[in-house]
């Protein structure tokens, strides 16, 4: 069950459906359908539900309890092994298994949908929405904000789940879109963000030199080099990435002369 805690508080499920603003034109992906607390409510409002549940027994139990609902497709597979390009959905409403929150989130952000209402462990949600300078600001914060708009809607008590988790959860709204700013080399931007947060207490220049991303001569051209990554905005990290990309391109050009 991938560490899943199943929502049993129907009032919270109703609020999730409300946040999703479902209509009979929506095709909704649900990840971790469990006992169907959300599934059946989504099915009553949406055109179609694609309910993914890795546990075969739970998937079979859900299928037998649908009471003739013909607009529910149940898939009993690992969501991380499913290619979202083979699916068509415009909304995501899910109580995500905690253990796979990060890979599922980034997998979703690589797909095309309008809006999601997602239940996360609150600690993870805090990092998703964190701003520069806050204790929860992290690589996840930067990557998430680069690709989408995030809003924490409400915290949810452990009492709303069975089995009870030891921590609070949170309902989060995500609206994907075009990246907030352009970078010359997206792969370099991702790698730079990883490097800087792996040395978050060090100055930018020291992190870059430790990881060999620039030479001692080049580091003097890097903006914000005397700062630490925890105070930089995602766009400022993007500026650093573009300067490094430019220096790498210059180096290639010189070799080709």
CATH number for the domain spanning 238: value is 1.10.8
Peptide bond preceding 163: is omega within 30 degrees of 0, i.e. cis?
yes
Q: What confidence score (pLDDT) does residue 1 get?
A: 47
| 205 in the same domain as 154 | no
Q: What confidence score (pLDDT) does residue 254 get?
A: 58
| 20 in the same domain as 145 | yes
> What CATH code is carried by the domain that includes residue 72?
3.40.50.150
Report residues of the chain scoring pLDDT below 70: 1-3, 252-257
Q: Which of 184, 177, 18, 46 is nearest to 112 (CA)?
A: 177
- Domain presence at residue 44: yes
Q: What confidence score (pLDDT) does residue 4 get?
A: 74
- Domain presence at residue 142: yes
Distance in angstroms (rounded) separating the CA atoms of residues 202 and 27? 46
Distance in angstroms (rounded) separating the CA atoms of residues 67 and 217? 70
Among 110, 144, 176, the domain boundary falls at 176
Among 148, 176, 204, the domain boundary falls at 176
- Per the confidence metrics, is the pTM higher than 0.75? yes
| 171 in the same domain as 225 | no
Backbone angles phi, psi at 68, to 5 degrees: 80, 5
Its domain, for residue 162, covers 6-176
Of the CA atoms within 13 Å of residue 117, those in its CB half-sphere come to 17
Among 176, 197, 227, the domain boundary falls at 176
| 195 in the same domain as 112 | no
Count the domains in the chain: 2
Is 2 in contact with 32 (CB distance < 8 Å)? yes
| 159 in the same domain as 39 | yes
Distance in angstroms (rounded) separating the CA atoms of residues 66 and 77? 19
- Domain presence at residue 181: no
pLDDT in tens, 172-185: 999 999 899 999 99
- Domain presence at residue 209: yes
| 34 in the same domain as 149 | yes
| 196 in the same domain as 162 | no
| 114 in the same domain as 55 | yes
Distance in angstroms (rounded) separating the CA atoms of residues 108 and 111? 5
Is 93 in contact with 30 (CB distance < 8 Å)? yes
Q: Which tokens hold the place of 118?
A: 């997602």
| 38 in the same domain as 15 | yes
């Amino acid at each position: 069950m991938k560490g899943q805690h199943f929502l049993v508080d129907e009032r919270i499920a109703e609020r999730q459906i409300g946040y999703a603003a479902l209509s009979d034109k929506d095709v909704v992906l649900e990840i971790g359908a469990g006992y169907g607390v959300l599934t059946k409510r989504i099915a009553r409002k949406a055109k179609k539900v694609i309910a993914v549940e890795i546990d075969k027994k739970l998937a079979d139990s859900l299928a037998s309890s649908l009471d003739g609902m013909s607009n529910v497709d149940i898939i009993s597979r690992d969501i991380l092994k499913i290619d979202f390009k083979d699916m068509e959905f415009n909304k995501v409403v899910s109580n995500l298994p905690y253990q796979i929150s990060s890979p599922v989130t980034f997998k979703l952000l690589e797909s095309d949908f309008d809006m999601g209402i997602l239940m996360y462990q609150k600690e993870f949600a805090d990092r998703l929405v964190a701003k520069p300078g806050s204790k929860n600001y992290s690589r996840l914060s930067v990557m998430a904000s680069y690709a989408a708009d995030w809003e924490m809607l409400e915290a949810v008590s452990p009492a709303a789940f069975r089995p009870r988790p030891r921590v609070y959860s949170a309902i989060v709204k995500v609206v994907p879109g075009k990246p907030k700013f352009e970078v010359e080399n997206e792969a370099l931007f991702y790698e730079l963000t990883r490097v800087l947060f792996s040395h978050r207490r060090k100055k930018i220049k020291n992190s870059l030199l430790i990881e060999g991303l620039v030479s001692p001569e080049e580091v003097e051209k890097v903006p914000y080099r005397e700062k630490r990554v925890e105070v930089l905005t995602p766009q400022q990290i993007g500026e650093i990435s573009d300067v490094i990309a430019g220096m790498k391109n210059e180096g290639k050009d010189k070799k080709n002369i």
